[in-house]
């Protein structure tokens, strides 16, 4: 066992693949837990961030190995003060500003663009690895990116729809009607975790609105059933589920 761990700590193609898979697995475990709680940063965001971070470290290891091996003559000609990892660090810092610009707060406690930002970060790391000639890891990360962004999206969406936790946005006639909405939710054996009262404009008039975080109590309860029950109240003007 110790011999296997020692070989994995060395830098080679096999150890690089294992490290990328381990990073993807760790990001998946953490992201799965966040998705279950319907947080803004879910499964795909955590996997992409974890893969990108692992790729940046692998790139630094690769550059050091090449600078002390095949690139040794070029490094000696340029000077030993030359550090290729500094360029990678600057790229990662720069892509952080670009990725931050894709994260938007769309209101009603919703944040969008987290997965896009994580994808940009991972793509930047992949581009640096391609520029350094780390071809094998680039192909592996590209396959992982395609799987995470294209294959995992419908799976994650279907998984969120099956969760018992849900966040709803509802507009109603007056603040006095809010107790009826809460009583209806509790009548469905649901547990209310958080309530945020706000005001919105609808058809030129101001209506009170609320963002409600709840957990359905019945095993056979569905998101659509809960929405239909609340929408059936005469005081409710608009209702929809907020999906992170």
Both 130 and 86 in a single domain? yes
Both 116 and 181 in a single domain? no
- The pLDDT, as a whole number, for residue 2 is 75
Of the residues 106, 132, 160, the one at which a domain ends: 160
Both 113 and 200 in a single domain? no
Tens of pLDDT along 1-45? 777 777 777 788 888 888 888 888 888 888 777 666 555 567 788
Both 172 and 213 in a single domain? yes
Both 197 and 180 in a single domain? yes
Of the residues 160, 184, 209, the one at which a domain ends: 160
Structural domain range at position 73 = 2-160
The set of long-range contacts for 218-221, using a CB threshold of 8 Å and a minimum separation of 24, is 218/188, 218/189, 221/164, 221/188, 221/189, 221/190
Of the residues 133, 160, 187, the one at which a domain ends: 160
Compute the mean pLDDT over every residue in the chain, rounded to the nearest whole number. Answer: 79
Tens of pLDDT along 106-150? 555 566 677 778 888 888 888 888 877 888 888 888 888 888 888
125 touches 92 (CB < 8 A): yes
Both 210 and 112 in a single domain? no
State the average pLDDT over residues 83-93. 71
Both 99 and 187 in a single domain? no
Both 229 and 188 in a single domain? yes
Model confidence band, residue 55 (pLDDT cutoffs 50, 70, 90):
confident
- The pLDDT, as a whole number, for residue 81 is 63
Residue 148 CA to residue 52 CA, distance in Å, equals: 13
Total structural domains within the chain:
2
Both 150 and 199 in a single domain? no
Residue 231 CA to residue 37 CA, distance in Å, equals: 24
Tens of pLDDT along 217-233? 877 778 888 888 899 89
Both 238 and 150 in a single domain? no
Both 134 and 174 in a single domain? no
Instruction: Give me the percent of the chain exceeding a pLDDT of 90.
Output: 0
Residue with tokens 């930002």: 117
Model confidence band, residue 80 (pLDDT cutoffs 50, 70, 90):
low
State the average pLDDT over residues 158-162. 67
Element (H, E) at 199: strand 191-202
Both 37 and 146 in a single domain? yes
Residue 216: CB atoms within 10 A of its CB come to 20
Domain with residue 219: its CATH number is 3.30.70.260
Q: Which residues contact 134 (CB under 8 A, 6 or more apart)?
A: 58, 59, 62
């Amino acid at each position: 066992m110790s011999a296997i761990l020692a070989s994995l700590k060395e830098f080679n193609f096999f150890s690089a693949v294992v490290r990328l898979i381990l990073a993807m697995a760790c990001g998946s475990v953490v992201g799965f837990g966040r998705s279950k709680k319907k947080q803004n940063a879910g499964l795909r965001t955590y996997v992409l961030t974890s893969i990108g971070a692992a790729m940046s470290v692998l790139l630094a290891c690769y550059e050091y190995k090449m600078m002390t091996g095949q690139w040794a003559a070029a490094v000696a000609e340029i000077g030993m003060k030359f550090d290729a990892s500094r360029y990678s660090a600057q790229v990662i810092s720069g892509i952080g500003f670009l990725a931050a610009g894709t994260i938007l707060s769309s209101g009603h406690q919703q944040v969008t663009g987290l997965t896009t930002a994580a994808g940009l970060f991972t793509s930047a790391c992949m581009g640096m690895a391609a520029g350094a000639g780390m071809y094998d890891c680039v192909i592996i990360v590209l396959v992982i990116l395609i799987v995470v962004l294209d294959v995992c999206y419908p799976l994650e969406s279907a998984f969120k729809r099956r969760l018992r936790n849900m966040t709803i946005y509802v507009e109603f006639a007056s603040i006095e009607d809010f107790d009826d909405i809460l009583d209806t939710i509790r009548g469905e054996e649901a547990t209310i975790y958080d309530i945020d009262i706000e005001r919105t404009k609808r058809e030129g008039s101001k209506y009170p609105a609320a963002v409600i975080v709840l957990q359905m109590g019945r095993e056979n309860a569905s998101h659509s059933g809960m929405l239909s029950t609340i929408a059936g109240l005469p005081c409710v003007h608009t209702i929809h589920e907020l999906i992170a």
